[in-house]
Structure 1
Amino acid sequence: MTGTLISLISILIGIIAANVFGNFKKKYSFGFTGNTVIGVFGSILLIKTFGRLGFNPWSIMNNGDFDGFRLAINLVVSAIGGVLGLIIAKKVYQKFNKS
């Protein structure tokens, strides 16, 4: 695997997590397209933040030596980022659209 492929898989995991969470918790859903966009940005934001601790795709590859534990942490953080992005976006949306 390359670092780019790991990044794309992480983003895909964030998209899937946001859409699954949105389907189970309808009050946090923005529809398929909205959940997908929020999942992308939520996973990227948390992975970039958490990647500074050594869980970025290039640290996972570590000069050609694959580290499965770091990959698992990366994918879990990406899923959490997608879900947190959806929750935060819904809170902001509700805050701006008070009636």
Structure 2
Amino acid sequence: MTDTLIAIISIFIGMFGANLLAVLNKTYTMGFTGNTISGVFGSIFFIKVFGRLGFGPMAIMQTGAVNPLLFTVNILVSLLGGAIGLVVIKLIINKLDKRPNNS
């Protein structure tokens, strides 16, 4: 595997994580497209931020072969990132949708 393939797999796992959360908890759903987009951004954000700890695509392939432990951590962070991305975006949308009462 290459670094690019690992990054693409991470993004797809983030998309899966957001859509899985939307299926399991209907309060956070924004439709398939909205869930997918938030999963992509959440996954990328989490991998970029937490990948600095040593489980980014470059670190996984550092020896020339896939490090299974680092790859597993990368996948779990992507899954969590996609789900948390959906929650955060849904909370922002709910906050923006609240209108003040002008009664």
Matched-pair identity in %? 48
What secondary structure is seen at the aligned counterpart in 2 of 1:55? Answer: coil
User: Max radius of gyration: which structure?
Assistant: 2
1:4 matched to 2:4? The reply is yes
Q: Give the 4+ runs in structure 1 shifted more than 3 A.
A: none
Distance 1:65 1:15 in 2: 26
Query: How big is the shift at 1:65?
Result: 3.0
SS in 1 for 2:54: helix
Match of 1:47? Answer: 47
Deviation at 1:23, TM superposition (A): 1.1
TM-score by length of 2: 0.93
Give the superposition deviation at 1:63: 3.6
Cα distance between partner residues in 1 of 2:66 and 2:12 = 20
Question: What is the rounded CA distance, in whole Å, between the counterparts of 2:61 and 2:20 in structure 1?
Answer: 29
Q: Tell me which residue corresponds to 2:69.
A: 69
> Residues of 1 paired with 2:86 and 2:96: CA distance?
15
For normalisation by structure 1, the TM-score amounts to 0.97
Match for residue 86 of structure 1? 86
Q: Which has the higher helix share?
A: 1
Q: Deviations over 1:47-85 (max 9, x none)?
A: 000111111101000141321000000000000000000
Q: Show the counterpart of 2:34.
A: 34
